Amino acid sequence: MARGKFNKRAGGPRLDAVNAEEIEIRNAQMEELEEQRASRRAEEDGDEDEGGDEKEKEKKEEDEAPQQTERKKKDGAPAGPVAPVTTEADHKRNLAKLAEVRRRREEAEMKRKQEEQLEKELEEERKRLAELATKGDDDDGGKKSKSSKKTIPKLDKIAIKKMKPAQMKEAMKERGLDIQGNAKELLQRLLDYEANRS
């Protein structure tokens, strides 16, 4: 028979009923336990009646507390925690804070737009200067173009073949060549240019 945590009646023997006689025995034991519990509860209640005047007062107060809140509800007074009511001054202060936040956001947005506009203008200026520099080289005749060719380093066949398409395009931009086409076309164009350059 089992003892311990699986027995709900404080470690006593557990009777697993198999036939009608055992069921009757088990029912009799359960009735005895119920009677013992009832008698213990009655004794505890009797002890509280004799020396438990303070406990009875506390119980009465706890029982009266919900009744008082119901009375307050009936009278119109709020019961329990009440949401804070904003005064006119608080409302004006909150509106002023909101206006300040809006003003700051608008200023930040304007500043961001100005920075974007400045960036665009700088980019356009760079592009314009780059176009002028390339046009200036073409317009001045042979002297500047020869000097510009001297400043551009000569690439050998191996270095060109090791280049990636983006690097080839950069080299072709420096040399004033067309950068359209696939990698093979770019490679051939750059090789032809460097071969004719020497």
pLDDT digits (tens, 9 = 90+) for 133-166: 777 655 554 444 444 445 788 888 888 888 899 9
Same domain for 135 and 160: no
pLDDT digits (tens, 9 = 90+) for 65-94: 555 555 555 555 555 555 667 788 888 888
Does 159 reside within a domain? yes
* CB neighbour list of residue 72: distance below 8 Å, 6 or more residues apart: 78, 79
- Terminal C-alpha separation, the chain: 108
pLDDT digits (tens, 9 = 90+) for 25-56: 888 888 999 999 999 988 888 766 555 555 56
Same domain for 118 and 162: no
Does 11 reside within a domain? no
Same domain for 166 and 196: yes
* CB neighbour list of residue 86: distance below 8 Å, 6 or more residues apart: 94
Q: Is 69 exposed, middle or buried (0-12, 13-18, 19+ CB in 10 A)?
A: middle
Does 172 reside within a domain? yes
Does 44 reside within a domain? yes
What range does the domain containing 134 cover? 90-141
Q: Which two tokens stand for residue 140?
A: 């001045």
pLDDT at 182: 92
Does 105 reside within a domain? yes
pLDDT digits (tens, 9 = 90+) for 91-131: 888 899 999 999 999 999 999 999 999 999 989 988 888 88
Does 2 reside within a domain? no
Question: Could you tell me how far CA 80 lies from the centroid of its own chain?
Answer: 36
Scanning the structure block, which residue is given the tokens 């008082």? 68
Same domain for 63 and 25: yes
Distance CA 145, CA 140 (A): 8
pLDDT at 114: 93
Distance CA 157, CA 164 (A): 14
Helical segments of 53-87, H only: 53-75
Does 184 reside within a domain? yes
Distance CA 150, CA 145 (A): 9
pLDDT at 16: 64
81 Ramachandran zone, left/alpha/beta (phi>0; psi -120 to 50): beta
Does 42 reside within a domain? yes
* Domains contained in the chain, number: 3
